């Protein structure tokens, strides 16, 4: 038994040491990639220049080789090889390259460069938290919520919501883009709340902010900063804001904010536990620290139930933007992207658009999906019965909803999910004076 425990202890120690070494290696690689990216950015080297340097060198004509002229030096490695003494060693490649292998390799490198340009290289955590500690492990966990890729969602990709996009652009993009216009007592908004019925595009607006601002974007949910272990939630909140300051300028996006700090977490409530009070106090204290912070950090929250938010949290979300149900023009622009162009000339189509009042964009998408499935069913049947082959699908399939009756049937089947509570958001807006 003693030998077994000794063996188990030795294997556990070796496993922990191996994990620490792997983390050190990952940190070194991350630091190296960040230093390379910063160097290229300082030198002004762009992707086009990198691609141009990776192109295949010009071919040398046989007549030039016959004259005994030296081969062109491709890079510094080739130049160094020419200066090395010839020891009579012949190196034969293991895999014989084909005629177009070099072109394929260059294309693969160009694709890697394009992918590298889309990825965000984060500044290493460095000495913010000591490697191998509990705080460092939590920091690595929070770092996974940083959006690393380009979401590629722009303002023009969101149909309608013209006023919402204008207000959000003024509150997020312009302070980051023109910081000289915001200073002193007229500091930019530190907290923004997006509220409205479900399916109206609050998350899409947040994605547009992440794309347009081109800064560090933390996508935080309740599972990111709420832990079942005592004291860990407060630590995660502190680490989140520390990382935001470290990677500033940054945006912290909290989706479903009412689940994080809602009225159910009020300290005056008898149902509020001590961990909930401490978590709430830490979060609100860190949000107060945003105002005095020299770094540019913005807190962006979204909720379907603004009346459930804690009053203290609501005070810190200075700018409140209502993302309401789409109007008739927005509904028309949304539906026209799913239907065939011939339906846009149909009078009944405009009447159908008028009837969709109270439908959110998510509801309209469900209507289009239902109509799309009805349009595909005859094609599936013909394919299963071998009446047509797959190569003939293009002759009968237009790639869009081509019959209005499919939309009408789908409209009768799918009912709006938020029409009955739309007035509640307007009343809340009048009560709190939100935008």
Q: Domain map of the chain by residue range?
A: 2-84+100-118, 134-324, 328-417
Mean pLDDT of all residues in 27-50: 63
pLDDT value, residue 3? 58
Q: How far apart are CA 246 and CA 285, in angstroms?
A: 18
Strand-strand pairing, 319-322 and 191-195: parallel
- For 100-149, what is each residue's pLDDT tens digit? 444 444 455 455 445 444 556 667 777 788 777 888 888 888 888 888 88
Q: Which of 79-83, 104-108, 234-238, 334-338 has the lowest mean pLDDT?
A: 79-83
Question: pLDDT class for 91, splitting at 50, 70, 90?
Answer: very low
Instruction: Compute the distance between CA of residue 367 and CA of residue 362 in angstroms, rounded to an integer.
Output: 9
- Residue in 273, 286, 251, 239 with CA at minimum distance from that of residue 142: 239
Confidence of residue 429 (pLDDT cuts 50, 70, 90): confident
Per DSSP bridges, beta strands 297-303 and 250-255 are parallel
In this prediction, residue 13 carries a pLDDT of: 66
Q: Which of 164-168, 172-176, 294-298 has the lowest mean pLDDT?
A: 294-298
Residue 267: what pLDDT?
42
Helix (H) or strand (E) holding 192: strand 191-195
State the Cα–Cα distance between residues 267 and 269, nearest whole angstrom: 5
- The band of 434, judged by pLDDT with boundaries at 50, 70 and 90, is low
- Among the residue ranges 25-34, 157-166, 387-396, the one predicted with the least confidence is 25-34
Contacts 24+ apart (CB under 8 A), 238-241: 238/282, 238/286, 239/129, 239/135, 239/138, 239/139, 239/142, 240/142, 240/286, 241/286, 241/289, 241/290, 241/297
With cut-offs at 50, 70 and 90, classify the pLDDT of residue 59: very low
Q: Is the pLDDT of residue 158 over 60?
A: yes
Give percent above pLDDT 90 in the chain: 13
H-assigned helices in 119-228 = 134-143, 162-168, 174-177, 202-213, 222-225
pLDDT tier, 266 (very low <50, low <70, confident <90, very high otherwise) = very low
In the prediction, which pLDDT does 214 show? Answer: 81
Model pLDDT for residues 334-388, shown as the tens digit of each residue = 998 899 888 888 889 999 999 999 999 999 999 999 999 998 888 888 888 888 8
Q: Whole-angstrom Cα distance, residue 34 to residue 28?
A: 10
Distance CA 65, CA 213 (A): 54
pLDDT of res. 364: 93
29-38 exposure pattern, b = at least 16 Cβ within 10 A, e = fewer: ebeeeeeebe
The pLDDT, as a whole number, for residue 84 is 43
Q: Per-residue confidence at 263, pLDDT binned at 50, 70, 90?
A: low
Phi, psi of 133 (to 5 degrees): -90, 165
Give the pLDDT score at 62: 41
- CATH number assigned to the domain with residue range 328-417, chosen from the 4 options 1.10.8.60, 2.40.40.20, 1.20.1330.10, 3.30.590.10: 1.10.8.60
Taking the C-alpha atoms of residue 278 and residue 264, their distance in angstroms, rounded to an integer, is 14
Q: What are the backbone dihedrals phi and psi of residue 302, each rounded to the nearest 5 degrees, phi first?
A: -135, 145
- When mean pLDDT is compared over 22-36, 51-65, 266-280, 307-321, the highest value belongs to 307-321
* SS3 label, residue 83: helix
Rounded CA-CA distance 281/269 in Å is 15
Q: What are phi and psi of 322, to 5 degrees?
A: -85, 120
In DSSP notation, 5-37 reads HHHHHHHHHHHHHHHHHHHHHHHHHHHHHHHHH
Stretch 27-40: mean pLDDT: 69
If you search the block for the tokens 């860190």, which residue do you land on?
Answer: 286
Looking at the DSSP bridge assignments, the partners of residue 193 are: 301, 320
User: Among 407, 408, 413, 411, which residue's Cα sits nearest to residue 338?
Assistant: 407
- Fold designation for 134-324: Rossmann fold (3.40.50)
The yes-or-no verdict on residue 411 having pLDDT over 90 is: yes
Which pLDDT score is estimated for 31? 67
What's the rounded Cα separation, in Å, for the pair 29 and 42? 20
pLDDT top residue among 277 and 239: 239
Q: Do the two domains 134-324 and 328-417 of this chain adopt the same fold?
A: no
Grade residue 195 by pLDDT with cuts at 50, 70 and 90. Answer: very high
For tokens 């106090």, the residue is 281
CA 411 – CA 238 distance, rounded (Å): 48
The pLDDT, as a whole number, for residue 407 is 92
pLDDT tens figures, 201-227: 899 999 898 888 888 889 888 777 877
User: What average pLDDT does the chain have?
Assistant: 74
CA distance 335 to 368: 8
What's the mean pLDDT in 257-261?
Answer: 75
């Amino acid at each position: 038994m003693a030998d077994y425990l000794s063996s188990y202890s030795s294997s556990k120690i070796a496993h922990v040491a191996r994990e620490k070494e792997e983390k050190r290696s990952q940190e070194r690689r991350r630091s190296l990639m960040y230093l390379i990216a910063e160097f290229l950015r300082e030198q002004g080297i762009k992707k086009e220049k990198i691609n141009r340097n990776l192109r295949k060198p010009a071919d040398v004509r046989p007549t030039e080789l016959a004259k005994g002229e030296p081969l062109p030096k491709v890079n510094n490695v080739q130049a160094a090889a020419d200066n090395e003494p010839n020891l009579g060693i012949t190196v034969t490649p293991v895999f014989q390259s084909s005629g177009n292998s070099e072109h394929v390799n260059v294309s693969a490198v160009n694709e890697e460069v394009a992918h590298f340009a889309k990825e965000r290289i984060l500044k290493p955590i460095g000495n913010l938290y000591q490697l191998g500690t509990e705080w460092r492990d939590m920091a690595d966990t929070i770092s996974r919520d940083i959006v690393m890729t380009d979401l590629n969602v722009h303002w023009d990709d969101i149909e309608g919501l013209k006023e919402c996009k204008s207000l959000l652009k003024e509150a997020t993009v312009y302070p980051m883009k023109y910081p000289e216009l915001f200073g002193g007592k007229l500091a930019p908004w530190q907290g923004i709340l997006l509220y409205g019925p479900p399916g109206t595009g609050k998350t899409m607006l947040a994605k547009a902010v992440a794309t347009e601002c081109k800064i560090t974007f933390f996508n935080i949910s309740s599972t990111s900063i709420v832990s079942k272990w005592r004291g860990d939630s407060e630590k995660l909140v502190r680490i989140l804001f520390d990382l935001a300051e470290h990677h500033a300028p940054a945006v912290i996006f909290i989706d479903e904010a009412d689940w994080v700090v809602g009225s159910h977490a009020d300290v005056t409530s008898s149902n509020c536990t001590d961990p909930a009070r401490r978590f709430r106090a830490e979060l609100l204290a860190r949000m107060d620290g945003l105002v005095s912070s020299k770094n540019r950090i913005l807190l962006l929250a979204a909720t379907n139930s603004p009346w459930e938010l804690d009053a203290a949290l609501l005070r810190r979300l200075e700018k409140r933007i209502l993302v309401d149900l789409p109007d008739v023009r927005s509904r028309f622009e949304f539906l026209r992207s799913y239907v065939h162009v011939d339906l846009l000339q149909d009078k009944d189509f405009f009447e159908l658009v008028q009837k969709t009042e109270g439908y959110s964009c998510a509801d309209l998408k469900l209507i289009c999906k239902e109509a799309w499935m009805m349009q595909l069913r005859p094609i599936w049947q013909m394919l299963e019965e071998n009446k047509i082959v797959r190569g003939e699908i293009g002759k009968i399939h237009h790639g869009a909803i081509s019959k209005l009756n499919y939309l009408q049937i789908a409209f009768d089947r799918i009912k709006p999910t938020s029409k009955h509570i739309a007035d509640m958001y307007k009343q809340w807006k009048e009560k709190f004076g939100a935008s």
